[in-house]
Amino acid sequence: MSQAMPHPESLGRVAVLMGGASAEREVSLMSGAGVLQALREQGVDAHAFDPAQRDLSELRREGVSRVFIALHGRGGEDGCVQGALELLGLPYTGSGVMASAVCMDKVMTKRVWSSEGLPTPRWVCLQAGEQGHDQLRAVPDALGLPLIVKPPREGSSIGVTKVQGYSQMDEAVRLAAGFDPDVLCEEFIEGEEVTCAVLGEGQGATALPVVKIVPPEAGYDYQNKYFTDEVKYQVPSGLPEAEEREIQRITLQAFRTLGCRGWGRADLMIRGSDRKPFLLEMNTSPGMTSHSLVPMSARAAGIGYGELCVRLLAFAKRDPAGHRAEGKGA
């Protein structure tokens, strides 16, 4: 995990994008506040910037030289703000336009992983015109019960329901469809929930220690993720060494397959019956709050919060196509 820390002055004027207009605005403001304070404590010339309140074009006028994206959800980690920053010619943290867009869509992510033979729970995607009563009843027949219903383009467990019986399908789909016209129905994997973070890019990417998540009886929902201390996190995970290594291997392969860079965090389930891991999703702009999992995993690898923020900022770049186009025109 050794990497020379850049001199703070070499990073220039930095904008920390936080807030935004997504359903995860509140969490983003918490992430951004933590990152901003940490960067300033490390001597970085960092400034808060809320794209819900200011136009991104102001970044250039203010002399910003690179951007730390602490946005979550739509408009922040779905390729939109990444594309805008490409047009502005500003390097930014995390994945580029394509990987961000694909990872934000859990259905597309699963299609990519499945095409590469990576393990992910079986699923059915119900598009906007495919959510009639008969179509909903067919889903438990295909996936079994219980099953998970979620909006494919939201995060932080927003709009997610664990469906125990046929009678719950209508309400669960209606809830998810309130956030996204398409609805993802996913096989429920009974077992342990873990997460694994990645730092770097390509063959130089490294998996951090696995974190085991032990939720309360109420489940690992939005409230418990960010606003209570009911969820217990184990790092070291306590898993057998071979299992930990396999989860790290699968996560790295999943990260590279999707074309991610800079950092990311995969969420997985380990099936209790045979200890097989299944990939659920890849987060390209993970949380950086006091409850967040990437800082927790980094600490276990000997990387403090401030150092982590600076490292991520040092990874900031643009898509290769953006660099090729730089010399054209005036």
Q: Which of 264, 287, 306, 322 is catalytic?
A: 287
In DSSP notation, 77-118 reads: SSSHHHHHHHHHT--BSS--HHHHHHHHSHHHHHHHHHHTT-
Q: Which of 281, 297, 319, 322 is catalytic?
A: 281
Q: Which of 265, 285, 297, 311 is catalytic?
A: 265
Contacts of 169 (CB under 8 A, 6+ apart): 136, 137, 139, 140, 149, 163
Question: Which residue, 97, 93, 94, is CA-closest to 78?
Answer: 97
Q: How far is CA 67 from the centre of its chain?
A: 18
Query: Token pair for residue 89?
Result: 């010619």
Q: Is 13 a catalytic residue?
A: no
Q: What are the C-alpha distances in Å from 10 to residues 7, 65, 312?
A: 5, 10, 14
Q: Is 287 a catalytic residue?
A: yes
Q: Which of 28, 31, 95, 156 is catalytic?
A: 156
Q: Is 267 a catalytic residue?
A: yes
3-state secondary structure at position 111: helix
List phi, psi (to 5°) of 211.
-110, 125
Measured over the CA atoms of residue 269, residue 224, residue 170 and residue 72, the dihedral's sign is negative
Q: Is 261 a catalytic residue?
A: no
8 A C-beta contact, residue 289 and residue 225? no
**Degrees, nearest 5: CA angle 286-289-294:** 45
Q: Which of 22, 95, 283, 297 is catalytic?
A: 283
Q: How many CB atoms lie within 10 A of CB 138?
A: 16
Q: Is 233 a catalytic residue?
A: no
Q: What's the CA gap between 107 and 123, in Å, rounded? A: 8
Q: Is 62 a catalytic residue?
A: no
Q: Which of 154, 192, 267, 319 is catalytic?
A: 267
3-state secondary structure at position 323: helix
- What are the residues facing 92 on neighbouring strands? 67, 317
Q: Is 24 a catalytic residue?
A: yes
Q: Which of 22, 159, 226, 285 is catalytic?
A: 226
Q: Which of 24, 77, 78, 186 is catalytic?
A: 24
Catalytic residue numbers, as ranges: 24, 156, 226, 265, 267, 281, 283, 287
